[in-house]
Amino acid sequence: MSVATRVSEVYDFRSMVLTAGDQALTQVKSVDAAWPLTGTATLDPPIPVAEALADRNGLPGAIVDPVLIDRLGLRIGDTFRLGTQAFRLTAALTREPDSASTGFTLGPRTVVRTDALATSGLLATGSMYETRYRLVLPPGVDLQALETRAESTFLDKGMRWTDSRNAAPGIGTFVDRIGSFLVLVGLAGLAVGGVGISAAIRSYLDGKVATIATLKTLGAEGGLIFRSYLWQTAILSALGIAIGLTLGAAVPLLAAPLIEASLPFPAAIRLSSGALLEAAFYGTLAALIFTLIPLSRTETIRPAALYRGGSGTRAWPRKRYLTALAFLAAALIGSATWLSGIPELALGTAGGVLGALGILALAALGLRKTARRLARSKLAQGRPATRAALAAIGAPRSDATSVVLSLGLGLSVLAAVGQIDWNLRQAIATDLPTRAPAFFFIDIQPDQLGPFLTLVKANPAVTEVETAPMLRGVITQINGRPAREVAGDHWVVRGDRGITYAATPGPKTRITAGTFWPEDYTGPPQISFAAEEAQEIGLRLGDTMTVNILGRDIAATVTSFREVDFSNAGMGFVMTLNPSALAGAPHTMIATVYAPPEAEAALLKDVTKTWPNITAIRVREAVDRVAEALSAIATATAWAAAGTLLTGFVVLIGAAAAGERARIYESAILKTLGATRGRILASFALRSALMGAAAGIVAVIAGALSGWAVMVFVMDSTYRFEPISAIGIVAGGVLATLLAGLFFALTPLSARPARTLRTQE
């Protein structure tokens, strides 16, 4: 790689920060004088990196994450140890320029010079660490050609290449998926908003029946009237889209400083013309789809409606409108599938939204028919308020459909998020800790294993200890073919994997197929592979597998499959080889120790103070880190779902406002017949509550089905229905419809019957 103008070497590994009275896990980044090769590290106090890492009075400097500083109660100038080497804390690392390429870590960051670790015992032979080389290339270098050359030079050695075309593939993939998810959530929001648009157009046209009938009496054709109202709708839609694009562009720009400061990698928030065009395209299609059917019914209004007080029929629109509707829907789904970059997710989401709308539409239809029957049953006899509410829900021009559709879809998304979030938290908080060990101890040198076991087993609180040799290797070939050709993008062939060796199967090992080698076996290399993963990649007994370990290719035959359970956070290896296959290979030992929580602190102190090079990973802290990450994802998803729900609530308010005229007339009739304001208000409240409850119940069912599918098929976990959030969803639906309905009931309650009825003459 002599073509590079500058090169930086970085070591990345886990270790323990040791102080006089405490210790904590950290992710160490040891760097050379060229770091950071690009970007700037932000420190507190703001001093140059070279000064922060320099030796002073024989002690090398160190930069530490503020979280770890607070955890250990350190101050600038305090000393601590990494392994056997003492360091001086010189600054807090508030911004790490290349953290995007590191990915998820179990401990906060510590940055030191690599040469300062020479006598620490942490980079000994067999220790677990990653080495990264950063290169700055002169302008005009062919990156693709250089990548091809590098991959051919280090073929099957576990090398991974990234460059400026995609500097952080993991972050890029994550951002792309989050972006796609937000686009799909936006489409769900468009569906909810579209229901509101359709209801608003229908209500508006109901108020224009007399005008349309008059125009037809004067000779206007249905096509002319349709085009006239289509243009009105188009102008209003264009205005709404323009306002939406302005807000969508302005909010991220205004929040840019906060967003950029919160990201773990450099970012610049700018306007994206492509994103704005995509949003405008979606908005235009949604407006056309949801206004086409109501507008098409202008052709069904007859001149006689002017004299009979009627309205357009509820017959199906003409064939040309249904054809146009199908074309527009296909265009919306097709463009979302293409632009999202994840066709399966887009199609699944589109199918889910359409399915949810279909189920909600059927629920609304069932609610209306049931309400119509109950209004005529003995249940409503002697209960005028109840009968009026049921009759209003079952009326031909009831707003039940728009309310159940708009609110139900938003509640369905929120219910699904609630079920998934609760199940994930339960799996982490209850299932895993009851089965998991207290610690993983790694980087135990072979000559330290005996004393380590003596010390740990002497602790009466320790209930169980498991140990195994630990190496890292890359699966390069399966049956003489490149591993990725056979296994695809399965995780076992991505990068290096943990490997162990054993003369006999352990007491907990269950062989599912084949036979384990004899204890004194010294023949050709053999592999015992994890049964589930073998099935996933199509591995069979007798297949050959080439594994590169420390630069040496070992070709072994698969002779048995084992049951490996990774869910209990215990010790598990995909590959186990016979001991003679790895004879002489430098390696370290790994141990899992089971002990109650109250014994963890003392055990950790004894081990780390006796052997500073041994790294202890507290499983409970690791679980907390995973829970924290999942909680952040769940929170972001919940906010996105809340956006859809907010859209549904706005549509609900619109539906209530659109029905205000009908409620005024209804209130006038009821007052004329002797109904009191309290009875009328009770009727309106019962109507709203019933529609909200229907939307909530359907949402709970849809959310439970979605949560079950995600937990079982995506998370490969169990599912349990969570009733508290379900009750909250139903209660929220009832409350939302009550608030919207009762707010717009104030005017009907105060309207005078005489004035209202005279306007109908």
Q: Which residue has the tokens 């229901």?
A: 195
Half-sphere exposure (Cβ direction) of 629: Cα atoms closer than 13 Å: 10
pLDDT value of position 580: 92
**Residues near 675 by beta carbon (within 8 Å), at least 6 away in sequence:** 384, 385, 388
Task: Quote the Cα angle for 458-460-464, to 5°.
Answer: 85
- Give 638's pLDDT tier (boundaries 50, 70, 90): low
Cα dihedral 257, 262, 266, 272 sign: negative
Highest mean pLDDT among 133-137, 217-221, 538-542: 538-542
Give percent of the chain with pLDDT exceeding 90: 12
For residues 399-422, one letter each, b for 16 or more C-beta atoms within 10 angstroms of the residue's C-beta and e for the rest, the string is bbbbbbbbbbbbbbbbbbbbbbbb
Three-class SS state of 488: coil
Give the residue ranges of DSSP H helices in 546-618: 600-610
Q: What is the DSSP string of 708-756?
A: HHIIIIIS-------HHHHHHHHHHHHHHHHHHHHHTTHHHHHS-HHHH
Tell how strand 511-514 and strand 497-501 pair up.
unpaired
- Give 155's pLDDT tier (boundaries 50, 70, 90): low
Count of beta carbons in the 10 Å neighbourhood of residue 104: 9
Q: Measuring CA to CA, which residue among 66, 54, 53 is closest to residue 26? A: 66
Instruction: Return the structure tokens found at 368.
Output: 């209306």
Q: Write the single-letter amino acid at 135.
A: L
Q: What does pLDDT average to over the chain?
A: 79
**689 Cα distance to chain centroid:** 33
| Residue positions counted in the chain | 761
pLDDT value of position 125: 67
Report the run of H or E that residue 499 belongs to, with start and end: strand 497-501
pLDDT tens across 398-446, in order?
777 777 877 777 778 778 777 877 877 776 665 554 556 788 888 888 8
Quick check: pTM over 0.85?
A: no
Give percent of the chain with pLDDT exceeding 70: 81
E-strand ranges in 96-193 read 109-113, 130-136
- Give 575's pLDDT tier (boundaries 50, 70, 90): very high
- Give 112's pLDDT tier (boundaries 50, 70, 90): very high
Phi, psi of 18 (to 5 degrees): -115, 125
Q: How far apart are alpha carbons 225 and 215 in whole angstroms?
A: 8
pLDDT tens across 249-308, in order?
888 788 777 766 655 555 667 788 888 888 888 888 888 888 888 888 777 777 665 555
- Give 637's pLDDT tier (boundaries 50, 70, 90): low
Three-class SS state of 53: helix
Report the run of H or E that residue 257 belongs to, with start and end: helix 256-262
**726 Cα distance to chain centroid:** 21
Three-class SS state of 30: strand
Q: Write the single-letter amino acid at 2.
A: S
φ/ψ region of 39 (left if φ > 0, alpha if ψ in -120 to 50, else beta) reads left
pLDDT tens across 498-508, in order?
899 999 988 88
Check pLDDT > 70 for residue 158. no
**Residues near 481 by beta carbon (within 8 Å), at least 6 away in sequence:** none
Q: Write the single-letter amino acid at 706.
A: S
Check pLDDT > 70 for residue 107. yes
**380 Cα distance to chain centroid:** 47
Highest mean pLDDT among 119-123, 314-318, 379-383, 620-624: 119-123
pLDDT tens across 577-626, in order?
999 998 878 888 889 888 888 888 888 888 888 888 888 887 776 666 66
pLDDT tens across 502-560, in order?
999 888 888 999 999 999 899 999 999 999 899 989 999 999 999 988 778 899 999 99
DSSP 208: T
Q: Which residue has the higher pLDDT, 228 or 666?
A: 228
Estimate the crossing angle of helix 343-375 against helix 400-426, to 10 degrees: 130
